Chains A and B, each alone.
Chain A
């Protein structure tokens, strides 16, 4: 059981229980998180699942690969902790992950 907390731009917190193997994007969509529309369905092709990962999660996660890194560089308001949630697979190590939703996606 992996607990993930999404913090929408208006400060609203949504806590979700994620299953190992799901993508972080799927967890957000299933939990009705506003601002994660993930329009391409997880193909790293649209940039509409951009999020900011904070805390220990950032250390635990593998670094973004080529496609994800390319997209992150050119999303709106990229930061050092920017990720595409469709490219993050849930593992038990990610328990307690905190994810902020960018203002540009609300």
Chain B
């Protein structure tokens, strides 16, 4: 395909400028007539809501491209992706619910799906509230905190760990493993990152094996015990159980911490919206939705075309890799009025922060409930919250979005 002059557009998702504010770049990409080819990762970037939704919902667009590769090509791809020498990573991270398709995906998703339905998740409200209250009791004497590290980072992992059946005292270790396992996906991942990621995956695996042994003799009312029963009934293999547990624990950590941080930052950047929410707590549901739309914590996922196709008015062959830029689609003026305005009353708010189609975020209701409880509690208890650093630094790269830290000053009512 010939390059046109518009392909000279500056797209550097690893830059500090992009980390600080990716939205002007997203707008420039969205205004192009056709998708943008990002050569560094051999991917066509989709930024218009219509294109992103169409690909996410298209059952011929898959997370993996194994179907269109020969065995030799698959081996070559593993080497290119640089996890050919990471056996635990290959076994438990490259294979899971998120990375599988068709019958395997549907079978695994169905086995855990009920646990994440709205009615089941609502049962966690009391536990979330109790943990948030306990954390606040420890922090309330401090006039200034890092909202991300001192507060937000403790909550999602504790709650998802509790649902799975991990003892409270082990939850901090799970966070370390989760962060180390995903170091493989870091921008500029080097051999040291790979070594740490592989070791963490193995340690995590061995820990879960020990926990499963305990559940074999003494089942609890938790997800791990229910999955173990499913394994014993022949519905899932042990590797699938481990991979599913790791995915749930990892997915339940980082992205919710990121959106808690960016959500608080948005409220502080738009004080009129924070006051509106404080004065009318019934707005919490639309406010949480807007936090997800405004700063999607996982702004990029990919799909492979398994058939020749037309996307964004352009013809592509099978095997093409597409990048679904949820963060860009969520600011598409074709879908949202005043898309760059943070509006806690926005409704309807049909964003794609949780993706779409069969890979729609399994934990979406839990993430929203975490946010609901946390921001409702903070609004009740703290009237005066200020940003200490007006320009908090955000994580770099295309795949994650959230402040590294968020120093705030606060006063209890």
Interface set of A (CB-CB < 8 Å, partner B): 29, 32, 34, 37-43, 45-47, 67, 70-71, 73-76, 78, 104
Contact = CB atoms under 8 A, between A and B. Distances in A.
A101 B375 CA distance: 26
A32 B347 CA distance: 10
B354 interface: yes
A45 B357 CA distance: 7
B172 interface: no
Contacts of A41: 53, 56-57, 356-357, 360
A74 B358 contact: no
B358 A45 contact: yes
B114 A40 contact: no
B119 A75 contact: yes
B350 A39 contact: yes
A78 to B, nearest CB: 7
Contacts of B53: 41
Contact of B118 (A40, A43, A47): A47
Contact of B114 (A34, A42, A45, A74): A74
Contacts of A29: 348, 350
Contact of A78 (B110, B119, B289): B119
Task: State the majority secondary structure of interface residues on B.
Answer: helix
A43 to B, nearest CB: 5
Nearest to A77: B119
A37 B349 contact: yes
Interface in B104-120: 109-110, 113-114, 117-120
Contacts of B57: 41-43
B360 A74 contact: no
Interface string B113-144: 11001111010000000000000000000000
B283 to A, nearest CB: 12
Contact of B360 (A39, A67, A104): A39
A71 B360 contact: no
A39 to B, nearest CB: 6
B60 interface: no
Contact of A71 (B117, B356, B357): B117
Contacts of B358: 43, 45
B407 interface: no
A40 B57 CA distance: 8
A39 B367 CA distance: 14
- Among A40, A75, A78, which residue has the most Cβ atoms of chain B within 10 A? A40
Contacts of A43: 57, 356-358, 360
B348 A34 contact: yes
A37 B117 contact: no
Please provide the 6 A-B residue pairs with the shortest distance between their CB atoms, ordered closest to farther: A74-B117, A40-B360, A45-B360, A74-B119, A41-B356, A41-B57
30 contacts: A29-B350, A34-B348, A37-B289, A37-B348, A37-B349, A37-B350, A39-B351, A39-B354, A39-B360, A40-B356, A40-B357, A40-B360, A41-B57, A41-B357, A43-B57, A43-B358, A45-B357, A46-B354, A46-B360, A46-B364, A47-B117, A47-B118, A47-B365, A67-B110, A70-B114, A71-B113, A74-B114, A76-B118, A76-B119, A76-B122
Interface string B345-376: 00111110011111010001100000000000
B120 A74 contact: yes
A74 B118 contact: yes
Given A40-B354, A73-B117, 14 more contacts: A34-B347, A37-B289, A37-B348, A39-B351, A41-B53, A41-B56, A41-B360, A45-B358, A47-B365, A70-B114, A74-B117, A74-B118, A74-B119, A76-B122
Contacts of B117: 47, 70-71, 73-75
